[in-house]
Amino acid sequence: MNLFYIIFAAVVIIMAAGIWIFFNYKPKKQKKTDSLFTDALNAMLRADKHKAIRLLKDIVKQDSGHVDAYLQLGSILRSDDPQRALKIHQMLTVRPNLDQNIQIEIYKSLAMDYEAIGNLKKSKREAEQILIIDKQNQWALSFLLNLGEKIKDWDYAEDKAKRLQKITGNHDNEELAKFLIFRSEEKIKRNEFTAAESLLNNAIKQAPEFGLPYKYLGEIRMANRDLVKAVECWEKFVNLSPENSHKVFDNIESALFDLGRYSEVEKFYRKVLVNDPTNIAGSLRLANVLNEKGEDQAAIKLVEGIINNGDPKISILLMKLKLSLSIQTPTELGHQIDDILNQIENIDD
């Protein structure tokens, strides 16, 4: 009888040990794949794409359930082979019992895959799946905002921008006003000037310090041959958006010429430089005006000021050469040409 209990106890102990080992023992394979995944991530950080791909392929061969490895592998392949990346990520959608975070990462990958392929409709569909899981997902809202702008669905893009701003608390009236401007551009192309002007005025009310509406208001005024008002609008644009002032220089010169006020062009560019002394486009335009008036030395001085401030671009060096043709010796002009050639060599290097 005692022997029976001893044998029975031994069997129970062995079974218990087996069960414990089954549920608690971590196989070396898991430890190895975790280490490989870390190595793959490090390779990605070092931009060693080939090594990362090799390591990730090793991981999925050893552990077909390693979803993160599949996600990263597809992401790396996307730039060169988006169709292959798509197939990898599509295979993950049939996996059972995936937690929500993994599902979101899969939908992210699919959205970017379809975008890379050029199928924006399906890209939009996949990103919207994320919002079904997480209505406040900032990545999805930002992605869909950019997608809405690409397909020129301004209502859709504006909705995503508003939702994103509400979540982040970063209220940007200029960003919202730009959707009114985008709509106005389409109206202008169809010569629907009254509707376009209404949208632009609403944009100004929404963001009074936003310069862009005035650019398009100027274009409407010019189309209606109200050149005085057009110039006023463009000057307002230049004051509010000095970094983009060059976009209206041609229109302003043309309007002032048609008005018989071309002599005011110099005054306009000097005002631009008072408000924005580093405005290179304004300096070059003023140099051209001075050159036309025969004031070559003053024009060259302006251009040399740009060069001395550390911006010796080829276009600026060529401008100086052009201005110098009538007042400098062949030797001096030769030195300028050498400077231009040196600049070209630096670009080639």
Over residues 47-82, the pLDDT tens digits come to 878 888 888 888 878 887 788 888 988 999 999 999
Over residues 282-320, the pLDDT tens digits come to 988 998 898 888 888 888 888 888 878 776 677 777 777
Query: Model confidence at 28, in pLDDT bands (50, 70, 90)?
Result: very low
Decide if 28 is inside a domain: no
Over residues 130-173, the pLDDT tens digits come to 999 999 999 999 999 999 999 999 999 999 999 999 999 999 99
Shared domain check, 181 and 112: no
Shared domain check, 57 and 131: yes
Decide if 37 is inside a domain: no
Decide if 156 is inside a domain: no
Shared domain check, 221 and 187: yes
DSSP 245: G
* pLDDT for position 26: 47
Query: Could you tell me how far CA 65 lies from the centroid of its own chain?
Result: 35
Query: Model confidence at 106, in pLDDT bands (50, 70, 90)?
Result: very high
Residue 165 token pair: 């701003």
CA distance 137 to 114: 19
Shared domain check, 287 and 199: no
Of 52 and 264, the structure prediction assigns the larger pLDDT to 264
What's the whole-number mean pLDDT along residues 240-258?
95
* pLDDT for position 55: 83
Share of the chain above pLDDT 90, in %: 56
Decide if 164 is inside a domain: no
Shared domain check, 242 and 318: no
Q: Which region among 64-73, 147-156, 177-186, 323-332 has the lowest average model confidence (pLDDT)?
A: 323-332
Core vs surface per residue 26-57: b (16+ CB within 10 A) or e? eeeeeeebeebbebbeebbeeeeeeebbebbe
Decide if 328 is inside a domain: yes
Range of the domain at 112: 43-93+101-140
Q: How many domains does the chain have?
A: 3
Decide if 161 is inside a domain: no
Shared domain check, 254 and 229: yes
Shared domain check, 252 and 184: yes
CATH number at residue 240: 1.25.40.10
Residue pair 174/210 in contact (Cβ under 8 Å)? The answer is yes
Residue 222 token pair: 């010019």
Shared domain check, 285 and 214: no
Shared domain check, 136 and 47: yes
Decide if 319 is inside a domain: yes
CA distance 224 to 237: 19
* pLDDT for position 57: 83
What's the whole-number mean pLDDT along residues 218-232?
96
**Mean pLDDT over the full length of the chain:** 86
Shared domain check, 208 and 136: no
Is pLDDT at 128 greater than 90 in this prediction? yes
Decide if 324 is inside a domain: yes
Shared domain check, 201 and 133: no
Shared domain check, 258 and 289: no
Give me the helices (H) in the chain, please. 2-24, 28-45, 49-62, 67-77, 82-92, 100-117, 120-133, 138-150, 154-168, 173-189, 193-206, 212-223, 227-240, 249-258, 264-275, 280-292, 296-308, 314-324, 330-348
CA distance 268 to 251: 13
* pLDDT for position 258: 94
